[in-house]
Amino acid sequence: MLEEIITNLIECGEILEKNQLTVIDNLKNLNEGHIIYFFEYIDPYIQNVIDFVISGLEQNQYSIIIENDRIIPLIQKGLKDLLSDTQLNKIKFVNNYDFYFAKGSFQCASIFDYLPRLIKGYSKQTFSVRSWAHVEWGDVLEVHENITNSEKEADVIVKENRLLSVCAYDSVRVSETTKNRLITHHNFLIHDYSS
């Protein structure tokens, strides 16, 4: 499925060269980039979040996880089994509904708006941060256009600040047209290793 989407984008001229979008199996060796992830299964999804956090800790980075209230406890349980309290303090969770709908309608808030609230004494110069965002919305049709615009803005922020940022979408909830549009605003596509 992913290969078909990429081929279609290349043929349509949306991706000018294959090397503009790199398909990866894991995040362990990345320290910057804008990654899109269409997941199908919850267990590998949670494992990918855990791997992302551990990789960040190995690079002395904070991880901001923007996630829903159903999945946060599952991630926290997996992390508590592996990490010390000091390491766990470098992981901050934000409810994804609060993050995306803080202004009343779906909008991608900048992660930098949240950092001072999440990390005491935060400044760009002294803290290295990576983000993982599970993007969700209700059955609102205009959200699809807002998502594309938000991802375009996020791509600029990620590149300017040399961040590592994952944007995760439930594959079932995103149309092929929207997937194609979203891919154009990312430079990595993670392939779910169970699919």
Alpha-carbon distance values, 89 to 70, 76, 92, 109, 167 (Å) = 21, 12, 7, 23, 22
Question: Does residue 25 sit in helix, strand or coil?
Answer: coil
Q: pLDDT by residue (tens digit) across 60-83?
A: 898 999 999 999 999 999 999 999
Residue type for 132, please? W
Share of the chain above pLDDT 90, in %: 31
Global pTM reads 0.79
Pairing type for strands 62-67 and 188-190 reads unpaired
Q: What is the pLDDT of residue 136?
A: 83
More confident position, 36 or 18: 36
**All domains of the chain, ordered by start, with CATH?**
2-190 (3.40.50)
